Amino acid sequence: MIVDDHPLVRRGLAELISAEPDLEICGEAADADEAIQRIQDLKPDLAVIDIALKGSDGITLIKRIKAHQLDVKMLVSSMHDESLFAERALRAGAMGYINKEEATDLVIQAIRQVLGGQVYLSAEMTNRLLHGVVSSRELIEKSPVDTLSDRELEVFGLLGRGLTTREIAEQLHLSVKTIETYREHIKSKLSLETSAELTRHAVQWVLENG
């Protein structure tokens, strides 16, 4: 099953997968709620999930799928920076991460690998994670944004897309006060003094990371 909020992306991925004799698309979803319902109804072997979804994000959806104890393997396919999101996706419960810009044969390889019960990451990301296992994590150069929690990163991204605190609260089904608390945590972690600085950094981050 494909979970992506862009119809053209869903169609292209569906055509790519359907061209394989042993793979079949059983359904599609454009947002997290629809994805949960369709996974429950269709019971796919694999869900290919984008990071950016309407009303939520792929990491949160993966956590919800795990919380519902749905028996489906998950592969993230996204334009977002693998170095920032791949590890988060694996921690949430996905078994792989592939950038949408990769060649089509690698997309199919990733799908087959995850269906076979193996983790799929790029060679560069695999080396980075292995390096983190065998050596101190402090040795890995990390940007300040890497220190944000999954929810803080989600709020940061929505700020960068121009949403107000109230709009973010409504979209994430949280209180305005909770979002304000997240904003303060983000400012602290990124060493930002004002709301204007936070907004500028968030917009710049979105422009650079899709």
Which domain CATH number covers 181? 1.10.10.10
Pairing of strands 46-49, 52-53: unpaired
For residue 14, pLDDT beyond 80: yes
Same domain, 198 and 122: no
Torsion, Cα 101 102 103 107, to 10 degrees, reads -120
Same domain, 123 and 171: no
Same domain, 30 and 57: yes
At residue 131 the predicted structure's pLDDT band, cuts being 50, 70 and 90, is low
At residue 8 the predicted structure's pLDDT band, cuts being 50, 70 and 90, is very high
Give pLDDT tens digits for 83-103. Answer: 778 888 888 899 999 988 887
Q: How far is CA 91 from CA 31, 59, 62, 150, 154, in A?
A: 21, 9, 10, 10, 16
Position with higher pLDDT, 166 vs 52: 166
Average pLDDT score, the chain: 86
Same domain, 35 and 95: yes
Same domain, 28 and 119: yes
For residue 208, pLDDT beyond 80: no
Residue that is written with structure tokens 């569906």 in the block: 14
Same domain, 17 and 109: yes
**pTM for the predicted model, two decimal places:** 0.68
Q: Across-strand partners of 4? A: none
CATH of the domain at 11: 3.40.50.2300
**Number of domains the chain contains:** 2
Is position 139 within any domain? no
Nearest CA among 79, 46, 74 for reference residue 60: 74
Domain membership of residue 89 as a residue range:
2-134
